[in-house]
Amino acid sequence: MDLKGRTALVTGGAVRVGRAIALALAQRGAQVAITYRSSEGPAREAVGALEAQGVRALAVRCDQRDPQQIRAAVREIEAQLGPIDVLVNSASIFERTPFAEATLDDWDSHLEVNLRGPWLFAQAVGPGMQARGEGAIVNMVDIAAERPFVGYLPYSVSKAGLVALTKGLARVLAPQVRVNGIAPGTILWPEEYPEAQKAAYLEKTPLHRAGTPEDAAAAVLFLIEGSDFVTGVILPLDGGRSLV
């Protein structure tokens, strides 16, 4: 797929990895819409940075725990930028939930944002992609889907579900739409992460470094533009961490 002139949606595209992905798509000539929940200031800044690439851009507030807001966001984006050709499900929550203290709200919020949200976005844009004969969806998963993080079980389970959703959508939406996932290891450290634990993690990572948001963006570009014969794949982006 040639991204020039296409319309792309990056959920959670105002900050962190989502913003890097949105910028990379704009640099390839795509019109880019981003969603945000509470990061209004960063979202406005992101739109300015996207437009500086010479493309049209749009930020839409959307709490993807709310199905109606998801559908409304898609309608607004397509009304202003045209049919969505590329969907990157990047919005996610990652909250510490020790096993004995985890609540039903913890489970529900992680599943709603990290799993049900991507499902609803795909359901909103997938049929249109099929009707037009082409489209691409990339879901940001996590190595925790295969190796659950102690203290983050609701998060890990939500990402494991997203793996299954990715593979299922690849079958349901074929042959017109390709659906893939990226499973990052450490890209940006949690703010509270101790330096000693960072060092221990990197020591066990074959490449001995953390990734960058730009690494994630490059992987997304590969899955969209690099080959039209890749679908249903979960691409590890972890410096080899899943090998050990």
Domains defined along the chain, listed by start:
7-243 (3.40.50.720)
pLDDT for 153: 96
Residues of the chain with pLDDT under 50: none
Residue whose token pair is 């690494």: 215
pLDDT for 1: 95
Evaluate whether 134 touches 177 at the Cβ level (below 8 Å).
Answer: yes
Report the alpha-carbon distance of residue 233 to residue 78 in Å, rounded: 27
pLDDT for 39: 92
pLDDT for 25: 98
Evaluate whether 62 touches 36 at the Cβ level (below 8 Å).
Answer: yes
Distance of CA 66 to the CA centre of its chain: 18
pTM, to two decimals: 0.95
Please list the active-site residues.
155
Which run of H or E residues covers position 66?
A: none
According to DSSP, the residues that pair with 152 across neighbouring strands are: 97
pLDDT digits (tens, 9 = 90+) for 95-139: 999 999 999 999 999 999 999 999 999 999 999 999 999 999 999
Query: What are the structure tokens assigned to 207, written together?
Result: 């490449």
Distance of CA 119 to the CA centre of its chain: 12
Name residue 18's amino acid.
G
Among left, alpha and beta (phi > 0; psi -120 to 50; other), residue 118 is alpha
pLDDT for 192: 73
From the CB of residue 132, how many other CB atoms can be counted at a distance below 10 Å? 12
| Cα dihedral 92, 85, 130, 161 in deg (nearest 10) | -10
Per-residue buried b or exposed e for 206-218, using 16+ beta carbons within 10 Å of the residue's own CB: eeeebbebebbbe
- What is the bridge-based pairing of β-strands 7-11 and 86-89? parallel
Of 55, 53, 56, 62, residue with least CA distance to 13: 62
Query: What are the structure tokens assigned to 81, written together?
Result: 């930028």
pLDDT for 194: 83
pLDDT for 241: 87
